[in-house]
Amino acid sequence: MYCQKCGKELPQNSAYCPSCGAKAGGYSSADYWWERRRWERERRPRREWDPMDAAWGAVRAVGFLIIIGLTIVLYPDVFVLLFRYLESWGTYGYPVLPPYALGQVIIFLFTASGVWGLVSSGLRLGLSSRLRRPMRDIVSAVFALYVAYTLSQFYGRTIRGAEFVLAFFVGLAVMVIINALITHYVPRRA
Ligand SMILES: [Zn+2]
C-alpha cells in the first residue's frame, strides 16, 4: 500500500505514513491518533545527557538533603508533632492548620529551602547556559519563602487562618501562571 499524501510505500499494519505522518486508509481515527502520537514521540530529538546538568542537580539535591537533616537535628520531635497533627484531622474531621510547634518546623524548612533554592538557581542562571529550569526553580524558591512568611504572620496573629489559606492558594496560582509563562516564552538555553 502507498501513502495517499506523499506516495511513499507504507509498512504493513501501519495506521500512519512514517514519512509524512498522514493517516493510512482502512484505519480508525483512534488507531491513527495512538500511532501518530508514537510516531511524533519517536521523531522528537532525544535529549542528550549533560554532565553539567547532572552536577547541578546533584549539588541542589545534596543541599536539600542537608536542610532536611538539619531540620531533624534542630527539631528532634518533628515526627511526633507531624503524627499528632495528622491524627488531629481525624479529631476535627477536616484538615486544620498545624499547631505552633509544627508550624515553626515548617517555617524553618521552607525558609532554608527557599534560600538554598534562590542561591543554587541564581548560581546556575549566572554560570550555566540554562535559562528555563533555573528561572522556574527561582519561582518555586520565592513561593517557599512566601509560604514561610505568611505562615509566620499567621502564628504572629497578624493574619487569621482563613487569610493564610487564601494567601497560600493565591500564591500557588500565581506561581503556576508564572511557570507556565516561563515554559512558553523562555528558551531552554541562552
Ligand atoms: Zn506519506
* Coil/strand/helix, residue 86: helix
pLDDT of residue 176 exceeding 80, the answer is: yes
Task: Report CA(29)–ligand 1 centroid distance (Å).
Answer: 16
pTM metric for this prediction: 0.74
Q: Which is higher by pLDDT, 45 or 130?
A: 130
**Phi and psi, residue 16, nearest 5°:** -145, 165
pLDDT single digits (tens) 62-88: 999 999 999 999 999 999 999 999 998
**Ligand 1 centroid from CA 34, angstroms:** 17
Render pLDDT for 26-65 as a digit per residue (tens, 0 to 9).
Answer: 777 888 888 778 877 777 777 778 888 889 999 999 999 9
Q: At what angle do helices 161-185 and 132-155 cross, to 10 degrees?
A: 170
Tell me, in angstroms, the distance from the centre of ligand 1 to residue 46's CA.
23
- Report how far apart, in Å, the C-alpha atoms of 178 and of each of 122, 129, 142, 149 are: 17, 21, 12, 20
Q: How far is the CA of 23 from the centre of ligand 1 (A)?
A: 8
For 55-59, 67-71, 115-119, 136-140, which range has the lowest pLDDT when averaged over its residues?
55-59
Q: What does the pLDDT read at residue 111?
A: 98
